[in-house]
Every structure is written in structure tokens, then in C-alpha cells.
Structure 1
Amino acid sequence: MKTISTTSNKTGIINVLAKPSTKLLTTWYAEQVVKGNIIASEKVILACKRHLNDLEKAGTEEFPFIFDEELGHRPIQFIEKYCKPSKGNFKQLILQAWQHFILGSLFGWIHKDSGLRRFKEGLIFVGRKNGKTTLISGVSLYGVSKDGENGADIPLLANSMKQARILFDEAKAMIKSSPKLRKRFRPLRDAIHFDKTFSKIEPQASDSEKLDGLNTHIGVFDEIHEYKDYKLINVIKNSRQSRDQPLLIYITTAGYQLDGPLVNYYEQGHDTLNGLIIDERTFYYLAELDDEKEFDQPEMWVKANPNMGVSIKLADMIEDWDKAKRTPQERNDFITKRFNLFVNSSEQAFLDFNTIKKNNKERHEEDFFKVPCIGGYDLSDSEDFTSACLEFPILETGEVFVISHSWVPEKKVLLENEKIDYRGMEKDGLLTIVKSEYINKELIYDWFVEKSQLFQIELITYDPAKAFGLNEALKNYGFQTQIVRQGHLTLGPAVDDVKDRFLDGNIIFNNNRLFRWYVNNVKMVEDRNRNKLPTKQGRYRKIDGFAAFLNAHTEVMKKFVQPAGNGDISFVSINQLLRGVIN
């Protein structure tokens, strides 16, 4: 097997890592990654194993897909023959082995009988400066001209028109720099036409007026880490129904929108590659560092940056990291964009993404019928979110089980200025959209009364602000209530205890995405006495569900403090057990 070393810029060629045979490079890359000859992230290794395993069962009754090397190579051949990056002094674009694996997989896997593409969607998740724009611009030009489709629309999609035009302008620049492409394509200000197949490429954003008229053949979503909701994605998915083999490509780095579509798709990719769910129609390439220890191991950075040595110079990246890691905000941005890991945008964030994700256990509510629990609620403003919860201490394990619910007025939902999936969360039973302009306190009262028929509510905790009437009604019904003063003396110990339990993975909330959103929105700020207290990260980053939970936890954490046989106090906490605090 012949290896070709990377050439210098003097030759004007972006070269490939190792090239035994152009058509075989997709499978060759998978083999080399699995053997450990090419350093890759754990999830990329799993993607490569998936490809090799699928080859073994290809064409069987249980697995009706086959891999056509010739078909998979066509977009690669087109890009290398006709496309040239607009930036840099390069005479030719030769795709890297990892890019062969991505395009070869997306276009080469087909159904054995129909010959139509296997993959309907693909998530390409890599760090910055890895040639995403150049690659996907070439794919869009191939899609309208050589993919065997007439009337093919290829929208280049982003959260803003400015971002969408970056891809579009790169595709136009490729046409301008290639005499053969100039003869066949008709680039205009807002569209690139390929008249032979009546097809076109257009930049589109979430606020574009022409979205409903699309007939999407290949849709390219750029930087979906910025997307707060599924509005644009859903429009495009609904526009592909008349196509025989539509393909949606999401190409992005990590980001700070930890409750948006990207995190959901990323977690689905994790579960698919690990065999936890079956999804034969979505391709995943998830390039990232696997451990924080690798932050200071430059030889491992290629895991998130497979184009290392080509569009990225390792020496420059080392220099940038040495500078960025001294400033918290620059450090977070570098970890997110260059190491391709999700981190919270606030340097004082309460919890990071990986810690929250550890708390993914689930329990049936029925397990807690007639079990003692503590309630909590947070009223906020009547025109905004209101939340309530029940928290159950599980003394044997140090875990707590949380049932959380929220209410929001329909007026707020109709504004749609916060890009929150209210309707979807209501459908999932996580919140109630109230058909009025404000939240009537009787709704929270009714919720606690209803839950008291199932669970043993020992106490209901609350922030006294705006709560007088509701608290009196709850007491009149027979509930015991407890004020939680909103200061460090009361909330500080509860915050510390909650954080410990999150770090141990001991908060069970049944993956309630609204509750997870609340937790993710919390940051810590100092009061006048330099005590840290929780607050929200921004105007639209609500924490009402966390506040209700924290109120309840001020009392729940006391349940884990039990007198030992000699009268001493022992703290039943997994974190403390690990530290050897309990004698």
C-alpha cells in the first residue's frame, strides 16, 4: 500500500494523508482508524466500525443496503476535478481520507433493489478550520449537476442569511475559478442555476420568505449549534417529500446552545453508534477530543481536527491554546470551537454539559406512589414561567427523584421571540400552556392537590415573593408549608449539595428536557459579601424550574442527615462516601 506524504504549499496542492486507491479510500480509512493507525475520536472509531460491520452483512435480507464504491467516489472525483478553494494559494483540491469516508458513505451506500441512497441525513461534527465550507460547497455543486436529479433544489441553510451566504459565496467562487464550471453554471446574486437539470442552489435562513416553496433534494445546514429550535429544520424536512433520495447534511462545530437541535442530534448519534438505538438512515461523523486530559496533549488534537497538517498548522494551534487557556472566556471558546466539546458559555456556569448529561437515569413515577416527598414552587411574574416540583430523597443510594412541571401563558408562546419549543414540551407533558395572558395561582394549587392523591407530600417550600395568597390556600387545604429565604444562608448549602449530587449522577429527572434546560441556564454570581448565588445567564435563559427544585432541596438535603448509633450526625451522600467523610 503506497503512502503519499503531504506536500508543501509551493506545489499548490492540498494533499491526502495516505492514498492506496482512490475508489477504496472510504473503506481504507475505516480500516486504518479501527486498527489505530489513524488517531480518531471514540465516536469516529465507532462510525468506522459501523461501516465495516455493515459491509459484512450488506445485501442480506436483514440488511438490504450495499456499498457501491463507484457511486461513492463520484462526488469526490467531481470536487477534485472541478472545484478549487477560494482562499489560499492552491491549484488543486485533493480531499483527505476522512472526507472520502464522509462523502463515500453518504453517496455510496444504497438500497440493493432500488439503488436509492441509504442515508437520508448526515451529521458532520468537526472543529473549526477543517475545510467544512469548501467541502460542502463542492457537494452542493455536484448535487445540482451530477446527482441524476431534475428540478433539484439545494438550499444552503443557516440561522442567519449572513451565515448562509458564506457557503453560497464559496460555491460561486469555485465556479468563477473554474473555466469548465463557468460554462455550465449560471451564478446570480441570490441563486446558482444549473439549467441542464433545471436545478438551483440558494442561500436560505430561518426568516427567508421563499422557504415554503422549496423542493429540497439536498439540504445543507451550516453551524446548527446556533439553532434554538426546529422551525427551519422542519420546513426543509417537509419540503423533500417529492424527492426519491433526499439528503440533509448538518455540518457544524460544537456550540453553547445546549438545549437546541444539535445536542439532541449529537446524543442520538452517540446512542446509534453505541447500538443503543437502531437508525440505519442517518450517518454520523463526530470528531472531538475524548477527555479533558487531551487538552494538553497536542498529538491528540487531530481527533477533533482531522484536517490537521493541511488547513490547520499544529504549531499555530499550540500557540493559540497557550494564550487562550489563561483567560476563562477565551479558554471556553477554544475548547468549544477547536477541541469541539460542548461547554457552557458562562465562565461562572453552575454545571458543565457533561455533568448534566451524567444524570440520565430514569425511574417510573409509580415507584414513588405514597412515598414521602417535599414540594417546591417558584411563581416569577404572572406573564412568565411558573414552576413547581416534587422531590423524593432515595436514602439508600444518595439519589433524588424529581417531578417537575411548568406553566406559561399562551400570549408568551404566540410571540415566538424566544425560540423555545413550547408546543412540543406541552405535548410531552412537561408544561401547560395557559389560555390566558397570565398564570392563575389556582393552577399550581390544583397541581399540588392532584399530586397529593398519588404522593405523600410532607412539606411545600416556597419563595415568599408574590406567594401569600397561594400559600394561604395550600395551608387551608391541609398542606404544611415552609418559607425559603432567597439568600446565601439558606440557599448556599442547598446549592453545594445539589452540585455534589449532580457530579455523582444522582439527580434523576427522567431526562425532562425542560428541567435540563433550566439547570443549564444557571450561573453563579457573587453577592455583596462575595457569597455565590444562582441566577439566570440572560434574559431568555429561564431558571424557574431549578428555583422550585432548589427551594425543595433546602429541606430534602436534611433527610440525608441522620443520627448514627452514638448520636453523631452522618451525611448520607455518595460524594462524601467516596471522599471518606463518613466514618
Structure 2
Amino acid sequence: MNYIKFLPKEVKKYVSEYETEKIKFNQERAQLVNYIEREICPRLKSNEIFFDMEQIERCTGYIERWFFKLENFQKFIIAFVFLYTTKTKANVYREFLIMMGRGGGKNGLISGICSYLLTPMHGIAKYDISIVANSEEQAKVSFDEIFDVIEGNPALKKTFDNKRARIRNRQTKSVIRYVTSNGSTKDGARDGAVVFDEIHRYESNRDVKVHVSGLGKRPNPRQFYIGTDGYVRDGFIDEIKDKAHKVLSGKTRYNALFPFICKLDNELQVDDLSTWELANPMFHQPLSAYAKDLWHEVVEQYEELQDNPSNREEFMTKRMNLPVADTERSVASHEELVATKRDFPDLVGRQCIGAFDYAAVRDFAAVGLLFRSGEDYIWLSHSFVRKEFVDAIYGYSKPKDTVNGKRQFAPIKKWEDDGFLTVIDEPTISPKYIVEWFVYARDELGYDLQTIVADRYRAEHVQQAFESCDFEVQYKNKFDAPFGYRLEILRNALAIDSLVAPKIESAFASQNVIFGDNDMMRWYTHNVLRKLKGDGNVLYVKKEDVRRKTDGFKAFEYAMYHSGDLQDVDVGAFYDNVDDWF
């Protein structure tokens, strides 16, 4: 790098490690090196700006004495906190963006820097700091770390008035506090610095603007944005990332922001463990004691993805700081659905859980029984459809390739002939068909069925019919009756999507789902869209509201929610052997 002699040793060392290939940089950090050469070094040479070497050494020394040993990348970041203009002695950067994979030490670094900024060594009285996050728990992370360090050191306790709600330096009168991101509680503050934690949770910059409205009333104001990427798109985090890329590419004011971003450059790199230091700068060789423990933890999570592929989004977003692009996709791949076409084992006498989805009485209803056999989930299902509806939408009575100018989406007549559905030529689908199917499975086919699960939406419509057949109706999310036939009504069926998604998607990925010859179930499942919400939770929705029905999958999901209660036991064989006890 040209002009490297003008840089402090903390910056020289870190850049040199990259240029000699001792450590790996992702694209944004490589751009940062070019940016430093293009924008910072010439200004240092011309004496337009300068690094305050004394402040850098004081800050790093303070943190290493009281908090922890700093990594080179942390010293590198600290150096730019104390970069000033020669003429006005004002800090060059007001805003700092620090993004990296979870566990990279963002909060620890901010804890040390903030604690130092409160002290006389920083040299600014009443330099108050607020740590802001969406939740009080997260806002307290760095605050509590500073509190604990002070509590553990008698010398610091003499220097700071250490309270659970605020920490105050006795000499400078500077205070640090934590607040939630409710902007209405913060307007008018006179902070010297504001730390915004978990920035991926901010939907807009509205709260940020309120919290920084008081900055500028103390010398050298600073805003620190720290966090790992998230699921909210077109929100504040995308706005600040765009600003960072403009700084790095020279498309905006050079000191609009100091960006330190660590992430994978593409999804394929995740399978090359040597690239993980692109996302987490702690993972450089040789690993520190902390990094070794963290490494084993992340490797273990990565290996678990083989059994729980639905956790991939969380792993890529939080550990690799690279949100996956497909936040909406099918719940199962074509290959996974093909793998469900296997013969059923003998199910007579086996324990099962029933479930049904009865969302609209004028079109479709689906019922089914879930069994366990080893690692496999076996789903035996049937559907009821209204003739008028399937005539209009799928051309049931007069099968043809198109219906109302649209491609036929479901071969209803074929599925009827195969025995997978019953066409009802009535104004509505009566609850009696639902109940009779389960009673027949229980009393005539010999399945050990005691529990049925359903959505609350149509509960009152079917409740009386089930009660007339000796089913106790429970509006709960956990069975508590030890004996007897039960109909459990889920209070909030949508809430279970995120809870059961890992189990369902892992079962499909491991080819542990069996639908038998029922192509209608594969059609139901194919019609489901797995949508990742802004908070990271999964929601199962229809790909299209009218023609792409999902009733059978929803019934399967309800049963899978309680699949942990299933035992791989042949109850009939159990009772056959009772005589052997005596």
C-alpha cells in the first residue's frame, strides 16, 4: 500500500496481514483497504487529517487492562475512532458501521470503547452515551458487561458510580445508559455518542433520527451501528449498508461512514470452512482460546444442518452474516416429494394421531392419520371436495386440459377413481363426513386412534358431531386427558408454523415422509409456500389462493405438531401377548 508510513501501527499491521495472505478478507474489507489507500493516506500525507496516536494507545491499553486482550481487527477499528481533522480537531467519522457474524466480538469491543470514552483520558466532560436496541435485554448486553467489569475491580469502582440503570464517571460526569428504541422516550437528549445494537431489527431510520437529535451538543459526536444482518429487507440495515458501499466505491462523501463489514461473499463458500473468517474475523489462524470454543460451536451448528436444513437461513444470516436470497420457496423439493412415494407398512393396530383441515365448507376438506415407523412419518389421508367447486375450478365433470382458459391444476376425476377423495354433491361439506371417516378408521380399520388435532377456525362447526361420537373437545395446545378419545383444537394454528417447520423440513430432507400412492398429497405439499418473515419465523402460505389448495398439507402439519406423542408400537400385538404375562 502506498503511503503506509502515514498510518498508525494498528492499521499497518492489520492491512499487512491481509496483503501477505496471513488472513482472508471478504470483498467489503478488501474494498476498505483500497479506500484507505485512495481516501485516507493522501489526506494524511497532506496533513489534512491525523490519527491521535496517544488516544489510540490509551484506549487499547485501557481495554486490555480492564476488559480483554484485543484482536488486531479490533485495534484497527479503534484507530479510526480517533481520526481527526487537523484544522478543527473534529473527529473525521461521526458514524461507524460494524457488522460481522454472531460471536465476532462486536458488543465486547463497543463495551470497551464506550467505557473509555467516559474517562478523563478521552478528555471530554459530560460525554454521555446511550446504548439503544429494540429490546431491553439486548440494550443491556454491553451495559451489563461494563457494569460487571467495574464491579469486579475496586480501582474502577472508585472511578465510577456504578448503578444498574446508569454508570457515571465521577470525574468527567459522563453517563452511560441503556434505552429501548422507542424514540418518544429519548427526544432531546444531549449525548456525546449513541450505540445502535441489533440494527437488523430497525424497520426504518425514524427511531435512529430521534435518538441522534441531541448529538452535536457535545464535542466529537459519534454514532455506532453494530449487529449481524437480518431478515427485514428495505429497512434501516439495507439503507446503512447501501451507504457503506457508496463510501467504499467513492460514490459519496469519503467520511460519511466508517464501514467494517465481515461476511461471506456468496452462499457456496459456507461449505469451505476455511472461508468462515470472511464472516467472523475471530476465525483467523492461530485461533485464540475464545475463538477455539466459538469455532467448535459453529462447526457443530453447521453439521446439524444436514439433519435440520430449515435452520440454514438462520445459520447463513447470523453466523455467516449473509442473508439467503430465497426467503420464499417450496416447503419440499421435487426430489423430496418423489421420495414420499413408498408403500405403507402394515398399520393395523398401530398408534396414530388424526388431523383435519376444514378451512372452507364450500370447497375442500382434508383428513388424515399420522403413524411412526422407525424414523419414518407415515401419512394416510383422504379429501372431501364439493362437486360445484371442482366443476368450476378443475373441470371435474368434463375433464379437459384447460378450464376457463387456464391450465388444469388438479386431476380430480383420476384422484377420485384412485380413492383419494370423495366428491360431495351438496351445498356444503357436512361435518358428518369428517367424523365418519375417523370413526371408521378407529372402529372398522383397527387403527389405534385416540387423538385428533384441528384448527380452531371451524371448531364450533364440528364440535357437536365429534362429541356425539365420544370425542372430548379440548381447546388447548397440549393434551392433558390421559384416557379417552380427544379432539384438540389449536388456539392459534398459524403460530405453530415456525415451531413445526424444522421437524417437517428435516423429515422431507431425510426422506422420512411417506405418502404412499396418494399423488394428491404431493400436490397439496407442492402448493405450499414457505415464507420467511421479517422476524425470522416461518409461515406456510398458499402459492395461489383459489386453485392451489393446501388443506391436506395443513392437516399433516397439525398432526406433525404432536408427532412427539406417537410411539412406534403395534397396540394389537401388545394385547395379543398379554396372556404371556401370566
User: Please, what TM-score do these two structures have when normalized by structure 1?
Assistant: 0.54
Aligned partners of 1:75, 1:162: CA distance in 2, in Å? Answer: 27
Deviates more, 1:333-342 or 1:69-78: 69-78
Provide the residue aligned with 2:245 in structure 1: 270
**Cα distance 1:527–1:158, how it changes in 2: closer, same or farther (>3 A)?**
farther
1:140 equivalent to 2:135? Answer no
1:69 equivalent to 2:53? Answer yes
Provide the residue aligned with 1:318 in structure 2: 299
| C-alpha distance after superposition, 1:110-158 (max 9, x if no partner) | 1011222100000000111112222111111111113221222100110
Provide the residue aligned with 1:205 in structure 2: 180
| Contact residue 59 and residue 112 of structure 1 kept, 8 A | no
Aligned partners of 1:277, 1:203: CA distance in 2, in Å? Answer: 32
1:175 equivalent to 2:170? Answer no
| C-alpha distance after superposition, 1:7-62 (max 9, x if no partner) | xxxxxxxxxxxxxxx9612222123224433211111121123223344312567x
Aligned partners of 2:208, 2:42: CA distance in 1, in Å? Answer: 32
| Contact residue 289 and residue 300 of structure 1 kept, 8 A | yes
Q: Percent identity?
A: 26
| Contact residue 147 and residue 164 of structure 2 kept, 8 A | no
1:220 equivalent to 2:215? Answer no
The one-letter code sitting in structure 2 at the alignment partner of 1:221 is F
1:163 equivalent to 2:138? Answer yes
| C-alpha distance after superposition, 1:208-246 (max 9, x if no partner) | 764124111111111101111222211122110312210
The one-letter code sitting in structure 1 at the alignment partner of 2:59 is P
Deviates more, 1:275-284 or 1:39-48: 275-284
Aligned partners of 1:111, 1:279: CA distance in 2, in Å? Answer: 13
Aligned partners of 2:182, 2:84: CA distance in 1, in Å? Answer: 34
**Cα distance 1:344–1:293, how it changes in 2: closer, same or farther (>3 A)?**
closer
| Contact residue 23 and residue 73 of structure 1 kept, 8 A | no
**Cα distance 1:41–1:196, how it changes in 2: closer, same or farther (>3 A)?**
same
Select which of 246, 268, 278 maps to 2:221.
Answer: 246
Select which of 10, 21, 25 maps to 1:25.
Answer: 10
Provide the residue aligned with 2:86 in structure 1: 112
Aligned partners of 1:50, 1:73: CA distance in 2, in Å? Answer: 24
Aligned partners of 1:298, 1:537: CA distance in 2, in Å? Answer: 26
**Cα distance 1:223–1:349, how it changes in 2: closer, same or farther (>3 A)?**
farther
Aligned partners of 1:231, 1:186: CA distance in 2, in Å? Answer: 33
The one-letter code sitting in structure 2 at the alignment partner of 1:113 is K
SS in 1 for 2:103: coil
SS in 1 for 2:282: coil
1:96 equivalent to 2:71? Answer yes
| C-alpha distance after superposition, 1:295-328 (max 9, x if no partner) | 1111111111111223332344323211124423
1:343 equivalent to 2:343? Answer no
The one-letter code sitting in structure 2 at the alignment partner of 1:259 is D
1:129 equivalent to 2:103? Answer yes
Aligned partners of 1:337, 1:101: CA distance in 2, in Å? Answer: 23
1:53 equivalent to 2:44? Answer no
| Contact residue 328 and residue 347 of structure 1 kept, 8 A | no
**Cα distance 1:342–1:539, how it changes in 2: closer, same or farther (>3 A)?**
closer
Decide which structure has the larger Cα Rg and report it: 2
1:38 equivalent to 2:23? Answer yes
| Contact residue 30 and residue 49 of structure 1 kept, 8 A | no
Provide the residue aligned with 1:327 in structure 2: 308
**Cα distance 1:289–1:190, how it changes in 2: closer, same or farther (>3 A)?**
same
Q: CA deviation at 1:207?
A: 2.6
**Cα distance 1:278–1:212, how it changes in 2: closer, same or farther (>3 A)?**
closer
**Cα distance 1:486–1:130, how it changes in 2: closer, same or farther (>3 A)?**
farther
SS in 2 for 1:288: coil
Gaps of 5+ in 2: 1-6, 332-403, 411-504, 506-520, 537-541, 546-582
The one-letter code sitting in structure 2 at the alignment partner of 1:128 is R
- Residues 105-504 of structure 1 aligned to structure 2 (within 5 Å): 105-107=80-82, 109-145=83-119, 146-207=121-182, 210-308=185-283, 309-310=287-288, 311-313=290-292, 314-343=295-324, 346=327, 348=329
SS in 1 for 2:187: helix
| Contact residue 111 and residue 143 of structure 2 kept, 8 A | yes
Q: CA deviation at 1:199?
A: 1.2
Aligned partners of 1:538, 1:296: CA distance in 2, in Å? Answer: 25
SS in 2 for 1:215: coil
How many aligned residue pairs are there?
Answer: 356
Q: CA deviation at 1:293?
A: 2.4
Q: CA deviation at 1:531?
A: 4.5
Provide the residue aligned with 2:478 in structure 1: none
| Contact residue 154 and residue 200 of structure 1 kept, 8 A | yes
Higher-RCO chain (CA-CA 8 Å, sequence separation at least 6)? 2
| Contact residue 231 and residue 323 of structure 2 kept, 8 A | yes
| C-alpha distance after superposition, 1:538-579 (max 9, x if no partner) | 6999xxxxx9xx99xxxxxxxxxxxxxxxxxxxxxxxxxxxx
Select which of 501, 520, 527 maps to 1:532.
Answer: 527
SS in 2 for 1:182: helix
| Contact residue 123 and residue 283 of structure 1 kept, 8 A | yes
SS in 2 for 1:202: strand
Q: CA deviation at 1:106?
A: 1.8
| C-alpha distance after superposition, 1:408-429 (max 9, x if no partner) | xxxxxxxxxxxxxxxxxxxxxx
| Contact residue 96 and residue 223 of structure 2 kept, 8 A | yes
Deviates more, 1:52-61 or 1:118-127: 52-61
Q: CA deviation at 1:96?
A: 0.5
| Contact residue 488 and residue 532 of structure 1 kept, 8 A | no
SS in 2 for 1:279: coil
The one-letter code sitting in structure 2 at the alignment partner of 1:227 is Y
| C-alpha distance after superposition, 1:388-421 (max 9, x if no partner) | xxxxxxxxxxxxxxxxxxxxxxxxxxxxxxxxxx
**Cα distance 1:536–1:187, how it changes in 2: closer, same or farther (>3 A)?**
same
Aligned partners of 1:262, 1:214: CA distance in 2, in Å? Answer: 24
